[in-house]
Amino acid sequence: MPTKATAEIGVFGGSGFYEFLDDATEIELDTPYGAPSSPVTISRIGGRSVAFIARHGRDHTFAPASVPARANLWAMRTLGVTRVLGPCAAGSLSPNVHPGDFVVLDQLVDRTHGRPDTFYASGYESGHVHHVSFADPYCQELCPLAFTAGTDAGITMHADGTVVVIPGPRFATRAESRSYRAQGWQAINMTQYPEAYLARELGMCYCGIALITDYDTGVEHDSDVAAVTQEQVFAFFKSNVHRVRELLTELIPRIPIGRDHCECASALGPLPHTDSIL
């Protein structure tokens, strides 16, 4: 559906984070990939135009593997969004990363399968193949700003961390969790992929900010830690969502207007004029 609404910055709300903006305009959008997870709300924070989508839907109706990530990112890009903030719930895989801490993610390991994860699925048939650089999955300009904003807001922040993205909806087994910890990864989540990658395909900056809700299946002594449950994760995120809001409210006004210090916009390189997706 055509719209004259625009926004500079996009925010995806994770589990328990279903509303964000006050005095917002709500719009319904359709995309070539279906409808987004929720209606888009648009308002202003610190003089900046911000669009918000509840990643799992307002009633948490979308499981991790069924989140319409392509529709969500396309809707944001249609509105003019060039910077995307992706707060999410995550479990800790490190004894140094505690529930209540925030991790500004800098690396991602994809362990999902079968999710629609590209806007160029027909590239081989059309003769135009796009191999997109994803060596550094997260925007190298936004991430330091997020760390500083969170620190200034009095939040315990970790400046970097690797997240392993599992398919869900089940949580990891103890053996899987031990394996991930042995790799030296810091966090475990179910939705950072393909969201971060799809943003890259659209030339958008993406910043993943993980709120640590639990120790997954244990950090130091597996048998001493009870298995994590959905109820615990949702309750913890809900009780801490005000801190996510504080971080975002502190961060958004700090985001520069221009994009001069990252390469996110040029990740695709030159595209054949007949194959532009926008």
DSSP string over 52-99: EEETTTTTT---GGG--HHHHHHHHHHTT--EEEEEEEEEE-STTS-T
Q: Which of 101, 106, 110, 214 is catalytic?
A: 214
216 classed as catalytic: yes
Q: How many CB atoms lie within 10 A of CB 262?
A: 17
pLDDT of residue 268: 72
- Asked if residue 277 belongs to a domain, the reply is no
Q: Are strands 162-165 and 187-189 parallel, antiparallel or unpaired?
A: parallel
Range of the domain at 263: 9-268
CATH of the domain at 240: 3.40.50.1580
pLDDT of residue 275: 41
C-alpha–C-alpha distance, residues 161 and 264, integer Å: 19
- Asked if residue 190 belongs to a domain, the reply is yes
Q: Identify which of 42, 31, 38 has the alpha carbon closest to the alpha carbon of residue 5.
A: 42
- Asked if residue 276 belongs to a domain, the reply is no
- Asked if residue 39 belongs to a domain, the reply is yes
- Asked if residue 94 belongs to a domain, the reply is yes
Q: Which of 216, 224, 260, 275 is catalytic?
A: 216
What's the token pair of residue 134?
A: 């994803």
Residues in the chain: 278
What's the token pair of residue 129?
A: 């193949």
C-alpha–C-alpha distance, residues 72 and 37, integer Å: 7
Residue in the structure block whose two tokens are 């969502």 = 241
What's the token pair of residue 72?
A: 């969500």
C-alpha–C-alpha distance, residues 178 and 176, integer Å: 5
Q: Identify which of 137, 149, 143, 106 has the alpha carbon closest to the alpha carbon of residue 252.
A: 149
- Asked if residue 4 belongs to a domain, the reply is no
pLDDT of residue 276: 43
- Asked if residue 2 belongs to a domain, the reply is no
Q: Exposure of 107 by Cβ count < 10 A (0-12 exposed, 13-18 middle, 19+ buried)?
A: middle
Per-residue pLDDT of the chain (278 residues; tens, 9 = 90+): 456 779 999 999 876 676 787 788 999 999 999 999 999 999 999 999 999 999 999 988 999 999 999 999 999 999 999 999 999 999 999 999 999 999 999 999 999 999 999 998 765 545 566 789 999 999 999 999 999 999 999 999 999 999 999 999 999 999 999 999 999 999 999 999 999 999 999 999 999 999 999 998 766 555 566 777 778 777 777 778 889 999 999 999 999 999 988 999 988 765 444 344 45
* Bond from prior residue into 194 cis (ω within 30 degrees of 0): yes
- Asked if residue 273 belongs to a domain, the reply is no
**Into how many domains does the chain fold?**
1
